[in-house]
Structure formats: C-alpha cells, structure tokens
Amino acid sequence: MKIAIINGPNLNLLGSREPDLYGSTTFEAYLEELRKAFPELELSYFQSNVEGELVNHIQQAGAAADGIVLNAAAYTHTSVAIGDAVKAVKAPVVEVHISNLATREPFRHVSHVSAGAKGVIFGFGLSGYALALQSFLQD
Ligand code: CA2
C-alpha cells in the first residue's frame, strides 16, 4: 500500500524551534522511525511552504497513492484551495496535527481540510502520523 505523507508550511523547522509545542525531533528522523514501524507500507514524503505546490502534490498523490496523511499546517485554517484539492482526490486523506488545536487560538479551530478528510487526528505529537498510518491498515 502506497501512502503519501504531506506536510505544509514551516514543518521543515520541526526539531529546531518551539520544542514544547512541536517536539524536538526532525520530521526526517521521525520518518525513518515510521518506515521501520510500518515496513508493509511504501511511504513517500513531501513538504512545502508554498500553497500551490501543496495543491499540486495532493492532486498527484491522490491519483498515485492509496492514501494521504496531510498536515497542511497553517494553510489548514486558511486555504480553500487545499480543502478543494482534498475533496477532489480519489485517495482517502487523514488530517493530522501535532498539537491539540482545541486548546489553541480560535482561528486554529477552523479547518478547510476536515470536511474532505476521512478522519482527523490531533494532539498526540508526532505519534499522530503513526496513528494515521495505522488507520489505513485497519481498512
Ligand atoms: O499542530 C500542528 O501540526 C499544526 O498543523 C502546526 C502548524 C500550525 O499552524 C497549525 O495550527 C497546527 C505550524 C507548524 C509550524 O511548525 C514549526 C515547527 C518548529 C518550529 C516552528 C514552527
């Protein structure tokens, strides 16, 4: 099963700043752990700080992969284009956030992704990505 993990803006900074909120591990290091924990899954990874690049990649992965794990980061709360892309693609999308959005500012309680997502996971730190992958194995 091919799963595309897609991260949005500033998640390239994971592990370098704000460890209380986002942990102290880089996503690349965590991805190695995911690959070891889920040898039965073929995992691809894409990160961009550019909204249109994320839309392009959701479209590509939505056609080529069996599932998408998407943390659109701040674009979650602003991007109608990313929300439309999630709704348009064939592959199911699981929305993940590292932090607990419900305990944060009200603007983070709005998601343009959730309505098109199969499910949403937030508040479990980086482990949320593993929970999302697990959800694809349960189907
Ligand atoms: O909790 C999440 O996963 C978020 O998607 C992270 C976004 C934030 O805008 C969303 O509301 C919730 C921010 C990602 C920024 O990541 C950083 C990582 C390290 C240092 C600075 C930023």
Residues within 6 Å of ligand 1 by CB: 10-11, 13-14, 17-18, 22, 71, 73-74, 76, 97-99, 108
CA of 8 to the centre of ligand 1 (A): 9
Q: How many CB atoms lie within 10 A of CB 24?
A: 12
CA of 92 to the centre of ligand 1 (A): 22
List active site positions. Answer: 22, 97
CATH architecture of structural domain 2-137: 3-Layer(aba) Sandwich (3.40)
Q: What is the pLDDT of residue 57?
A: 98
Compute the distance between CA of residue 120 and CA of residue 117 in angstroms, rounded to an integer. Answer: 7
CB 66 within 8 A of CB 40: no
Compute the distance between CA of residue 14 and CA of residue 125 in angstroms, rounded to an integer. Answer: 11
Q: What is the pLDDT of residue 18?
A: 85
The domain limits of the chain are: 2-137
DSSP string, 6-51: EE-TTGGGTTTS-HHHH-S--HHHHHHHHHHH-TTSEEEEEE-S-H
CA of 9 to the centre of ligand 1 (A): 8
Residue type, 20: D
Q: What is the pLDDT of residue 19?
A: 84
pTM of structure: 0.97
The tens place of each residue's pLDDT in the chain, 139 residues long, gives 999 999 999 999 999 888 888 888 999 999 999 999 999 999 999 999 999 999 999 999 999 999 999 999 999 999 999 999 999 999 999 999 999 999 999 999 999 999 999 999 999 999 999 999 999 999 7
